[in-house]
Structure 1
Amino acid sequence: MRHHLKIAVCLLAAGVMSTGGVGAQTATSPKPIKVMTAAPSLTTAVPLTVIARHFDKAHGLVIENPQAGTNSALIIDAVLSGNADFAVAGTLTVLQAIRAGGDLTIIGGVANNQLVTVVGNDVPKKIGVTSDAPIGERIKALKGLTIGTNPAGATYTQMLRAYLKEYGLDPDNDVKLVGIADASALITGLEQGRFDAIATASGVAEQALSLNAGSVWFSGARGDIPGSEKSIVALAVTRPDVIEKDPATVEAFRASLADGLKAINEDHVETGRVLKEQFFQKFDPSLWEIVWNGATAAFPTSLTFSRDAFTFWISNDPKGAESYQDIDYEKITYGPSQG
């Protein structure tokens, strides 16, 4: 997790030069594209499924998968700089990059709300609330706790702040949020007692359970938070010039992602087995089964990034929805992904 994750979709270039461009695509001449994403977690499960179940090859793509960290800003920078053609990154970071002038187009949403909060073993007794209490009681019970989460302004941090507010807590005064860029430091921080709780992506937060450091308090991935399926947390993006110059490859990439979503939703057990074997080898097998089988609300059924999801995120941006007054949803979202 301490190394940068870089998914390079390396496609054979045979036949591309003879066509005078990158637009031609055949089964024997897959195209070279590069896709950047973050470290393996449930948030990145769709692109990982594409690799693990070879949906890339079905659409003329071959994906190489060096793995790394969790910084969405670096991932987006790779696309903006031309060092990558596509990326899968945190929704809010994508929108903030667009607001700042980044020339990006959203081509699909690939993960629903997967915020998971794990509390230390002594916390339920200390706060007098159990993990089977109504969701509102569980969130209100976080008052006064120190919570390790992602850096300030990150997708999961802002999502946590949104739910704290929704259930009556002031995230700046009622809790102490500590932003940590290194996911493994969140786990060890909970284990060592530096945090009362941690809140981050599913597939990361639950690793604390394998150390007997805590228990799941609530999980968006399993549908604990009503309406959280509208809170898309990860987006596939590209630059407008990629869409203009090579729409066929954009559609091929989207088709491979769509196949990944379908496999996750309709062949969940087998897809989980393959993902565990290829990308989550160090994940405790019994814990992986709990996490994966419990992810009943973790993934959308299509690549849609709806206007409702757009509104949710700009409303929960630290600078407020008014900071997006010059951003047109329809202009930044690829037509087939609108909804």
Structure 2
Amino acid sequence: MTGTGSGVRRVVVLVMVLLLSWTAGCGGSGESRTPAVSFGGVRDQGSSGYAVAELKGFFTQQGLTVSPTWATSGTVLMQGVASGDFDVANLGPAQLYEAIRNGACARVLRPTQGAAYGVIAQTGLGLDTTLPYPRVLTQLRGRTVGVAARGAAQELVLRSLLTEAGLDPDTDVTWVAIGGGAAAVSAFAAGQVDAAMSYPQLEVNLRATGAAFDKLVDLAGANSPLGEFWQSVAVANCEWADDHPDLVMKFCHALNQGVRALEQQPDAGPQAFAHLGLGSNPGQARSLWDRYKTPVVEVPPLTEENWRHQTMFTPHGTAPAFSEYVVDGCSTA
């Protein structure tokens, strides 16, 4: 009898363990009931909408946990979203179009930033910043030009501008990958390049270190030479987006709330900048927001016309099929 009783007890314990495991796997804990979305981005103003959605609890309200990974170039982000390392990433459309043309797959959710680029040069070169565009860029003939990564969005856009200025981007300039963040600041400040494609984060950090530069072209806003340009768009891994349409719409709704808050709530932008490390203190973050907010609060809409406009900055001048690669209803969720 003793052997039989212990055997029954072992069976009962085993059944209880299996039941507990099954219950946990089906959402028995609060953590497992909250879907986690992996996000890849760069700590710049293009990520402001995501930052606000996180800070103000919009993702949490949708039952989502968003886990960010911060990178320094669109190349890393494109590889991550294509491979499935990221469910969602923030990157440049020109680079995205070329990746899709070469066989990658990604679903576009919405644009997250308008044009915020610029072209800067070393002050010691004595270039004439008063010349009109595109003539001002002819002064880059024979110069070294820094971009975050070769073949990424910055280079693709600047190549189109140099071509418009009558330069051959393959022979008239020498391209140098200078990375992002502190690496880009160090490279420019040390004179490793004559000019560079700039963005607010780079300019702010250069000024913080006392490094001077001349602004050859200001490309911020829809009235710049870039027009209705999207500097970044939110894109999703194809498999994740296709298999989880409800999660995608929840993510889109929260992100859209974040973008609207940037437009409507005076504190949202400065808080986002501070959260992203743009500014060494809240006061500086607010000052930077006042200076660089335009591309974030005036994002050109997601339309087929603007979708085609981005092809001006791609090597082949073609766009993927709008209906195939854009998630319908996300931008208005």
**Which TM bucket (shorter chain)?**
0.7 to 0.9
Work out which of the two has the higher radius of gyration on C-alpha atoms and give 1 or 2: 2
Q: After superposition, give the CA deviation of every residue in 1:242-289 in whole Å (9 maximum; x if it has no partner).
A: 34433221111111111121122223x412321243221664777655
Q: Which one is further off, 251-260 or 219-228?
A: 219-228
Alpha-carbon distance in 1 for matches of 2:284, 2:222: 18
Mapped pair 1:81 → 2:83:
yes
Mapped pair 1:272 → 2:251:
no
Which residue among 139, 144, 147 is the counterpart of 1:146?
144
Preserved CA contact (<8 Å) 1:109 1:232 = yes
Counterparts of 1:110-189 in structure 2, within 5 Å, are: 110-123=112-125, 126-130=126-130, 134-189=132-187
* Structure 1 residues 166 and 238: alpha-carbon distance in aligned structure 2, compared to 1, 3 A threshold: same
Which residue among 33, 36, 41 is the counterpart of 1:33?
36
Preserved CA contact (<8 Å) 1:109 1:234 = yes
Which residue among 14, 17, 23 is the counterpart of 2:26?
17
Q: After superposition, give the CA deviation of every residue in 1:36-75 in whole Å (9 maximum; x if it has no partner).
A: 222301122221222233221232223344x532233333
Indicate the structure with greater helix content.
2
Q: Which one is further off, 146-155 or 88-97?
A: 88-97
Amino acid at match of 1:36: F
* Structure 1 residues 122 and 75: alpha-carbon distance in aligned structure 2, compared to 1, 3 A threshold: same
Partner of 2:5: none
Mapped pair 1:54 → 2:63:
no
TM-score of the pair, normalised by structure 1: 0.77
Alpha-carbon distance in 1 for matches of 2:297, 2:229: 10
Alpha-carbon distance in 2 for matches of 1:292, 1:142: 30
Alpha-carbon distance in 1 for matches of 2:267, 2:214: 25
Which residue among 259, 262, 266 is the counterpart of 2:260?
262
* Structure 1 residues 243 and 286: alpha-carbon distance in aligned structure 2, compared to 1, 3 A threshold: closer
Mapped pair 1:42 → 2:39:
no
- What SS does structure 1 have at the residue aligned with 2:176? strand
Partner of 2:209: 211
**What's the CA shift for 1:161?**
1.6
Partner of 1:191: 189
Alpha-carbon distance in 2 for matches of 1:160, 1:150: 12
**What's the CA shift for 1:194?**
1.8
Alpha-carbon distance in 2 for matches of 1:47, 1:53: 10
Amino acid at match of 2:309: F
Alpha-carbon distance in 1 for matches of 2:327, 2:118: 29
* Structure 1 residues 90 and 293: alpha-carbon distance in aligned structure 2, compared to 1, 3 A threshold: same
Alpha-carbon distance in 1 for matches of 2:226, 2:190: 34
Mapped pair 1:237 → 2:226:
no
Q: After superposition, give the CA deviation of every residue in 1:3-29 in whole Å (9 maximum; x if it has no partner).
A: xxxxxxxxxxx999369xxxxxxx998
Amino acid at match of 1:165: T
Amino acid at match of 2:174: K
* Structure 1 residues 115 and 227: alpha-carbon distance in aligned structure 2, compared to 1, 3 A threshold: closer
Which residue among 319, 324, 327 is the counterpart of 1:331?
324
Structure 1: gaps (5+ residues) = 1-13, 20-26
Alpha-carbon distance in 2 for matches of 1:112, 1:146: 27
Q: Which one is further off, 255-264 or 309-318?
A: 309-318
Taking every aligned residue pair, what percent have the same amino acid on both sides?
18
Q: Which one is further off, 84-93 or 246-255?
A: 84-93
TM-score of the pair, normalised by structure 2: 0.78
Alpha-carbon distance in 1 for matches of 2:317, 2:296: 26
Q: How many residues align?
A: 308
Mapped pair 1:201 → 2:199:
yes
Structure 2: gaps (5+ residues) = 1-22
**What's the CA shift for 1:224?**
6.3
- What SS does structure 2 have at the residue aligned with 1:204? helix
- What SS does structure 2 have at the residue aligned with 1:299? helix
